[in-house]
Each structure stands twice: as structure tokens, then as C-alpha cells.
Structure 1
């Protein structure tokens, strides 16, 4: 009897294994027919910069059918062309509709390459997939609409203040900006003349907070508003002992700074500097009173195009990055990608430049 019982148990176990294998073989998915994305009731969408969180458009589509009860996801994409050469993913949902906010749609069409402040044709589609690995993607039909986007200025600008600087302890006195690195948006420099004294960094001209300084070492500290102000640069309330040229570098990525002497041996002094290019007529720049290597022009209207900095000796500097970067002698023209009024600053000692839009 014991032998018969063991044989029966072995037979049941074999049936169980076979049953499990059959179940696995039966779970098969098939490629779905493309879902159908409905046309929009409106074809012209003007994006309102003042209300970025308001809904811009709602997209609706039919359900995908992969032949099994499985998790289906829908990725909403936009593009600047009907072929979706470089599609931009906006959102992924597991429902049959998605409402895009003004900011979402504006960011997506901007990433797709559509220029701001003019009507452009945009395209949308939905790509269905299964599982968390987005398997078996199938794109829907494409729909088109016209969109009028605004420009998202993605950068922060910072300004120096203090008795070691040109504006003194006045937070709204044409305070010179820090020059943002063209490749690393967290890295800023100011290479120029500092008087004996101290300084801090402000985020908004005319406001004392947010205010940046140091409480010691090479670490930076901030009072974002309502707290205690940090100590001054460069040495936690200890002044610069000797007036001269220095390079102040601040990295908001790792919250550190440095302050080092800067040699000006062999540097050429220019008597005038102009902005020239397709973005503007010849625009004269003003030399900073305390530093004959720093030039500025306030509230300059620039159109889409390019520009260079040209001295009285016909020396010309250009760069490849928009808004800020390092210009080189006879370099490529600096691209101006959006029309606006700008404060423009240029350092002929280092080639640093920054174009700060006033209305974006």
C-alpha cells in the first residue's frame, strides 16, 4: 500500500507541473491595432504664460487590445513634423485620455524645436505599450493643430553687491551680474576689479533676499528669505585686504566658491565696444566705471539672429552658446534665439558674456 501511495503522489505532482506548463504556454499577447486618436475640437491653441498650470488641451483615444488582460500604457508624444522624426514624450498614462497643462505643452513644443511667440504647426500621437518595460509599442494616427508658445527661460541670474563692488551696498544700482558658464548652468564667474572690502550675491536686483554668502571655508550659504543672512565673501566677514583683479567662482551644483588673484599683465585696454549683428543695429556699450574690462548695455532690444562684440580696434569676439558663455576672438556669432529686451554684459579680459532677458 505504501508503494501505491507514493506512486499516486508522484503522478499528481506530474499532472500539476504539466498543468503549470500548459498555463504558461497559453499566455500569449498579440500586437494591437493602432489606437485611434480623436481630432481636437479646436485647432488653434494660444498658450498663456500667466497661467502655466491651467489646462491647455485634452486628448482622447480608443483602447489598445493586445489579446490578454495585461497592463497597457499610453505615451503621449508631440513633434514638429508629421513623420515624428524627433518625437518628444509629454506624459504616460494608463487611461484613454490625458489633459496637458499650458506649461507641459509649451515645454514639449519648445523641446520639439518650435520657436516661441509665433504660430506653428504641431503634431500629436499616442504610442501604446504593455508592461513596465514598454514592450510592443504601437503608434496611433497623428493629429495636427496650431500652437502659439511662449519661451521658458530656464536660468537663474545673480548679481554682486557690497563695498568691494561698483554699486556699493546698494541692491539696485546697475549691479554687475555673475557670468554663467555656457555648458554648466550651475557654474558662475566674475573676473574683474574688486576694491578692498566685502561683497555678497543677490538673486534679484532690488531685493536683499535670496542672499548668498559664506559662513566659513569654501562653502556657500543662503538666506532665501525670512532667515538669518550669511556672512560676506570672500572670508566670512573678513574684507579683501588689497584692491585688485580677482576671479570669483561660485558653483551652485556643489555649493562651493573660490576667490583667486587674477593677472592682467599684457591685457589690452579698449576705448569703445559695440554690439553688432543681425539681432540689432550697432549698439554702443558702456564701460564699468571701476573696471575698464567690463562693458554693458541695458534694455537693448534684440531680435532672433546673432551678434558679436566689436572693439574700437575692430577686434571681434563671438561664441556658440545662447544667453551666456565664453566668447573667443573671431569666434562664431552668438545666437539670439528669442526676441526680447536684454541687459547685455561682456568681459573683454576673459571673453565672458551674458544676455539677460527682461520679460521672459
Structure 2
């Protein structure tokens, strides 16, 4: 009798279980199904993250999320963590994939690498979005979590290629106007330093090759390529430093479309260079002049020289060491003294703080003088089309 009772109990339990795992389908039939789970909820160890470079090997961020409660072994559940810059809807996300665990930790150097990959500047705070997507091992039943918004600040890391200790760069080679003569002609074959780790210059390149030198007139060190046969290397790629006593290195090849004007940007932080045609209106001027009501010479054109003529200090940079400017007036830059047919002006002459400089462009708007009358130094950089004023 006891055996019969046990049998009935077993059959009843099995029936209940079968009923719980059945689903009606069209036509009146039933099939067994698994639970499709519920949305995971992700959380972070901190909402603001700004590690120091000294903490690069320490954990900077830990992410945890709840169990999606699929009706499968939790050790086989797949999770994809997505990280992206805010407002991109994860269109360019960096991902980390784990299985069976609902936790991931990132060292400061790992997170920093991701942030720099987004193009974030050193020591500047940005917002990023983070979420996790759970699924079966075969990617079925994907469930997307809530989105976390974190405030992160990448720390500064050493540049991939050593910076020139001279703080300067020069172009040499038969692709240049100066050929292989060393020292090279300056300022036409000197780069401008745009920031701590980026140099740029605009040069007339022809068929041939070139090298980049940190010291004009010195063959003892150079920046060059490891292999100039890499497809597309004429348009950009990785470069390396060959210091004193270190031989080897390949020359940079000219672009296939040379001759013509080209902008070369050398990024020591990333260890990369780019070469692009320079087709801007008015080309690359050899001279620059200041004209306008804000200047002592007024709108008279030609302007008085040398007092209102810039000095060219690199291939793309012009400086006027000191000029008296009158508040409330305006001015323009002229590549040819006496010619109103060519000029440079502000991209937006009414932008905030435009009196102390901003973006410029050919045939731009009149530029307002600073709000305080006085003597100013003016620097014009055509490699990035900007101008700045400093009160003396």
C-alpha cells in the first residue's frame, strides 16, 4: 500500500512540473518551454572615477549585475558589458564578455586605455554609458540592462614615441624644396608645435622621400619608418625614433599624388603621423599682414610695414610681437599687402571671448579687438586655423 501511495505522489508531482513548463500553441497543442528571464540591473562601485597614473595597476571600477534568472544553469549564462561615450547609444562601444559570473573589475590602466581610445583628453572629465546584455550561450533571449552614466577622467600616460628634446621638428629630403641639404631652410621646413605631443606643418612635397629631424643640421637622430613598403604608408601610419648611434629606419615616401601642398601631422602620443592634401582657399601664404580700424594704420591698404607685418616662424605659424589695438574696433589678416581680394577672418565674429582669438578661415568675418585697449602679441597658426592674442 505504501508503494502505491509513493507512486501516486510521484505521478502527481511530475504532472504539475510538466504543466508549469507547457505553453499553448496554435491548434490546441502544447510544448515545453524555458523561462526567458528578466532584465538584469547593473551597478558600479563608483559614479565618479579619476584614478592617478600611480594607481594604474589598481582596480578602478567594479561592475555588478543581478541574476536574469533564466531556466538554465547560471554558470552558462553569457554577459556582454558595453562601455561607450554618452549620447552615442553604444554605437561605438567597447565590450567585455564573461560567462557565468555577474561581476567584472577593471584596472585603472584598462579603463584609461578605453577612455583614450574614445579620443578623450588627459585630465578632463567626461560622461560614459555602461550596460550589460545577458543571453543564453547561443545569444538567444538577450536581455538589456539599465544604462549607468559614469563620470570619468583619463590620466596622462607617456607618449608612445619619445618627444624631441629640442622641442622642434624639421623636414628634410628630396621630396621637399630643400632636398637632402642639412640644415634645412627655415622657417618653411619647420613644423609647428600644436600641443605638448602634436606637431604639424604644411609643405610643398614632390616625388621622393623625406625624414623628420629633431635638430636642424644633425643627422645623428631622426624619426622614420620601420617599413616604408606597408600599403598606404605614404598617407600615414606608425613612426619610430632612431636616437644617436642607432642605425636603420626607412624614409617616409611621398604621397602618390605629389607634387602639391600637404599637411603632415605628427602625433607622438599615439605614435602616428598623417599626410593629407592641403587644398584650403588662398593656399599657404608666405607672408601675413594686419589691417583694420583696431590698428594704428586703420583700414588703409597697403598697411604700414614692418609694424603691421607678421614674422613667419614655422611653415604655418606667423607672429606679430607687439601691436597697439583699440577696443571696439575690428581687423583682418591679409596674405598680400595691398590686396583686398584675399583675407582671413573669424569663423564667428560674435563668439564668446573672440576678442582674444578663436577659429579663423579664409574670407571670414571681421575680427573684433580685445575689450581692453593696449599692446598685444598675435599668433596665427594655419595648421589648425586658429589665432590667439596675449596682452603685453
- TM-score when normalising by structure 1: 0.46
Please report the TM-score for the alignment, with normalisation by the length of structure 2: 0.43
Larger radius of gyration: 2
